[in-house]
Amino acid sequence: MQIRGQVILKRIAPGSKSERDAFVLKSAAGDFVLRKQGANPFVQDTEFNTVLGREIDVEGRVLDYLLLVDSWKPA
């Protein structure tokens, strides 16, 4: 699935033990937490820092609120 959206930094799971800041793709289809395939969910992937605030095209798989990223490119 391909989704286009803006990369933002957002606090997720507030009030839980899983509370953290995560890179989120804000798109017309909804907001999705970005995670590269095989990456640790509790460690921020610094690669997304380079596109923070920008629009990107993401190829990946959606699992509920999570977007498992296979690849991405600037829009």
Domain range list for the chain: 2-74
Q: How confident is the model over 35-51, as pLDDT tens digits?
A: 998 888 778 788 899 99
Both tokens of 15, joined, read: 């009030």
pLDDT value of position 58: 97
What is the mean predicted confidence (pLDDT) over 7-16?
94
pLDDT value of position 50: 93
- Output b/e per residue, 36-71; b: 16+ Cβ within 10 A: beeeeeeeeeeebeebeeeebebebeeeeeebbbee
For the entire predicted model, the pTM comes to 0.90
